[in-house]
Structure 1
Amino acid sequence: MTICAYATFDDRNGDDDERDLALEAWREAGIVGRVERWDDPAVDWSGYDAVVVRSVWDYILRREEFLAWARAVESVTRLLNPYSVLETNTDKTYLRDLDVPVVPTHWSSQDLPDWPEYVVKPAISGGARDTSRTSDRGEARTLAASLEAAGRTPMIQPYLDMVESEGEISLLYFNRRFSHAVRRNPMLAHGMNHEDNARAQLRSPAPDQVELAEKVLAAVPTPLLYARIDLVRLFDGTPAVMEVELTEPYLYLSHEPRAAANLARALGELVRR
């Protein structure tokens, strides 16, 4: 019998609406899934064939503690995704090292480029937390400087109008196999609310988007249970990476009928190999 932990956080509000879909698909694939809070000191992680990092959405407030936990878990069982991936991916400065087109990013409050609009956020963040959009260059500089003063690395990017027309597209891969893609609503578009942000529509990615996503995946040498590659088109139409989500991404399992089964199949392949 294969037993895997579904690692989550102290989710008192029940925000993880993908959990039941995933666990049912695991069960149908012959995998027993048990929900565990990642920071519960009473859990014996060595008793699991694998620990799957899922809705650990509070890690951004406790990154060092989270990484220490991940390192400890990986010393006693299989961790998916692996510790080395989590360590790199939880700080968005990894974008500096990608050898592919990336959304232009400035990493300091000094010498900001002259862009029509700016998006300012910290390098360690999630769900648009502490993220601002402004057309005022001085305000963007002030926002970035306040992050620096708090010991955080700022990211300053141009706001790309294409996210409101073509949208952001997320390509989902399980064990490096393409599962599905969705067009996501832009989180910083004027008039958007939380419910709008959660909506997405299935999309067939264009060939240049698939080529870019798979080039990104090819650069990661370790096993990957899941990967979500978020892309957007630049002003000239070139697809570029917005984020590479390898830690705790929303997987849009309910949007594609086969998605949960695809995830379960990938888990079985990695744990039983």
Structure 2
Amino acid sequence: MNNHHQPARGKPRVALITCGELADLDPDDRLVLAPLAARGVRAEPVVWDDPAADWAAYDLAVLRSPWDYMPRRDEFVAWAQRVPRLANPADVVRWNTDKRYLDELSAAGVPTVPTAWVGPGGSWTPPADSGEYVIKPAVSAGSQDTGRYDLADPEHRELAVAHVRRLSAAGRVTMVQPYLTAVDTAGETALLFLAGRQGLAFSHAIRKGPMLTGPDFGVDGLYRPEEITARTATEEQLAVAAKTLAAVPGGSDRLLYARVDLIPGPDGRPILVELELTEPSLFLGHSAGAADRLADAILTRLESET
């Protein structure tokens, strides 16, 4: 490989970006280390906010598990802009780490969960109906600060208002969505896409079981445990994913990976819940060959950087 921005030193070097709590990477991400080594790539975990990290020393920096950035999102976005050869790119990080991107995708014709937004310092009055709702911050991951509320229950109504008030007082944007009850039976489908020679290509899909059981009382750790199983994607799900990726600002051909999370809506058709382009779990261990496909995607991106 002729690397024009690095001194010649043999194998290309890749940083797999993580956080201090997962300094040796999430176990699922470690599955790509051997396939990368087999392809002649030196990969190593690097904590994103480590002041000693020399990002210019890497041929590619791949965002994987920097899951502690949420309280410091502005700092994280500014950091991403300083990292050369970052995957996914810094402008994608800025756009995708605030879930108000859902409004843009909805305007582009992507079926999304109806969402109401409450700005910092704002107040919220629960709707008169007695359905279930999800409340969470616009900058979040791993179901942190996320709760499920049955507005037919007076206590839940009070807790929901308190949840919004707590986020609002902290200067955070709150999102309020109807709870899609199909997740309790069908679960959530995550479709994983990885870069190929002709842009993003579908890799595999998994099913996530329901995670929200009630109001938010705080959660310890970076994320809640998930019930994950392999799943076969349907043509309808793949079509919604393709429409979603086509609406990504700047085009999806620049992406190393993408995860499209879908849940059946009231009519049974898939609805976008989240588009994960910054630091999604890729569930490599749930599909044969997925770690090799990610290694190939990284190799393809390395070649495009030369």
- What is the TM-score normalised by the length of structure 2? 0.82
Paired residue for 1:179?
203
Check if 1:228 corresponds to 2:228.
no
Q: CA deviation at 1:12?
A: 5.5
User: 2:124 is matched with which residue?
Assistant: 110
Corresponding residue for residue 19 of structure 1? 29
Change (3 A) 1:15 1:6: closer
Aligned partners of 1:165, 1:14: CA distance in 2, in Å?
Answer: 35
Corresponding position of 2:278: 247
Match for residue 3 of structure 2?
none
Change in CA separation of 1:269 and 1:196 when aligned onto 2, cut-off 3 Å: same
What one-letter code is carried by the residue in structure 2 that aligns with 1:219? A
Report the more deviating stretch, 219-228 or 77-86: 219-228
Q: How many Å separate the matches in 1 of 2:23 and 2:48?
A: 16
**Which of 268, 278, 295 lines up with 1:237 in the alignment?**
268
2:204 aligns to what SS in structure 1?
strand
Written as runs of structure 1 = structure 2, the 5 A alignment for 1:103-182 is: 103-108=113-118, 109-110=123-124, 112-113=126-127, 114=129, 116-136=131-151, 137-175=157-195, 176-182=200-206
Q: CA deviation at 1:111?
A: 5.1
* Cα distance, 1:138 vs structure 2: 4.6
SS at match of 2:116: coil
In the aligned structure 2, how far is the partner of 1:199 from the partner of 1:27? Answer: 30
% same residue:
44
Equivalent residue for 1:204? 232
Q: How has the CA–CA distance of structure 1 residues 219 and 153 changed in structure 2, closer, same or farther, with 3 Å as cutoff?
A: same
**1:80 matched to 2:87:** yes
> For the structure 1 residues 239 and 180, does the alpha-carbon distance in structure 2 shift closer, same or farther, using more than 3 Å as the test?
same
Deviations 1:112-151 (A, max 9, x none): 4435111111111111111111113454233223312221
Q: 1:128 to 1:47 in 2, by over 3 A?
A: same
* Residue 44 (structure 2) aligns with: 34
- Offset of 1:47 from its aligned partner? 1.0
Indicate whether 1:266 and 2:294 are aligned. no
Shift of 1:33: 0.2
Q: Which runs of 5+ in 2 are unaligned?
A: 1-10, 152-156
Residues 157 and 201 of structure 1: CA distance in aligned 2, closer, same or farther (over 3 Å): same
For residues 83 and 115 of structure 1, what CA distance do their matches in structure 2 show? 41
Query: What stretches of structure 1 of length at least 5 have no aligned partner?
Result: none
- Partner residue of 2:243? 215
Distance in 2 of aligned mates of 1:246 and 1:12: 19
Select the structure of larger CA radius of gyration.
Answer: 2
How far apart in 1 are the matches of 2:55 and 2:12?
Answer: 14
Deviations 1:37-84 (A, max 9, x none): 1111111111111000111000102111111111111xxx31000001
Q: Note if 1:67 corresponds to 2:98.
A: no
Work out the number of aligned pairs and report it: 268
In 1: Cα distance, 2:22 partner to 2:57 partner: 25
Q: Which whole-Å CA distance do the structure 1 matches of 2:38 and 2:27 have between them? A: 19
Whether the 8 Å contact between 2:23 and 2:45 is mirrored in structure 1 is no
| Contact 2:23-2:46 at 8 Å conserved across structures | no
Which whole-Å CA distance do the structure 1 matches of 2:60 and 2:23 have between them? 26
**Which of the numbers 63, 79, 83 marks the counterpart of 1:53?**
63
For residues 71 and 93 of structure 1, the distance between their equivalents in structure 2, rounded to whole angstroms, comes to 20
**CA root-mean-square deviation:** 2.1
